[in-house]
């Protein structure tokens, strides 16, 4: 069993700026996982965004707290706490916090295809 939270020293050591507008931490990554690439936590301040980008892996964004607007490819929709958004491999995606509170997400990523 591996147990991690945002206060764990290994998790705190992975803090980074995520796509221009968020702060992220790797909760679990390839050092611990065999069939997934990572599980990360990210936060986006009010009226900020994770700038649109394309990743070479499949991802799932799980909205933990807050609300915003998510774009995946050509689709745009409002998202809120409890929503899970699937992002296929190679699709442009961007998340904007439209609320007055911090928006937090969990990001699950699959391995990069070989």
Q: Is residue 2 part of a domain?
A: no
Q: Confirm whether 102 is domain-assigned.
A: yes
Do the beta carbons of residue 96 and residue 63 sit within 8 Å? no
- pLDDT band of residue 106 (cuts 50, 70, 90) is very high
Eight-class DSSP state of 7: T
In a domain, 79, yes or no: yes
Tokens of 96: 């904007």
* Number of compact structural domains in the chain: 1
Express each pLDDT in 22-70 by its tens digit.
999 999 998 889 888 999 999 999 999 999 999 999 999 999 999 999 9
Residue 33 lies in a domain: yes
Residues 6 or more apart whose CB falls under 8 angstroms from that of 113 comprise: 56, 57, 89
Q: Which pLDDT score is estimated for 112?
A: 83
Q: How far apart are the first and last CA of the chain?
A: 28
Q: Residue 53's beta-bridge partner residues?
A: 93
CATH number at residue 23: 2.60.120.10
Q: How many CB atoms lie within 10 A of CB 44?
A: 25
Determine, yes or no, domain membership for 100.
yes
């Amino acid at each position: 069993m591996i147990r991690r939270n945002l206060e764990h020293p290994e998790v705190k050591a992975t803090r980074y700026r995520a796509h221009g507008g968020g702060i992220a931490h790797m909760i679990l990554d390839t050092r611990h996982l065999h069939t997934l690439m990572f599980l990360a936590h990210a936060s986006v301040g009010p009226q900020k965004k994770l700038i649109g980008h394309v990743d070479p892996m499949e991802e799932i964004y799980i909205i933990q707290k807050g609300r915003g607007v998510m774009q995946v490819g050509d689709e745009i929709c409002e998202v809120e706490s409890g929503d899970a958004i699937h992002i296929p491999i190679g699709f442009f995606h961007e998340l904007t916090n439209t609320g007055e509170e911090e928006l937090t997400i969990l990001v699950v990523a699959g391995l990069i295809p070989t």
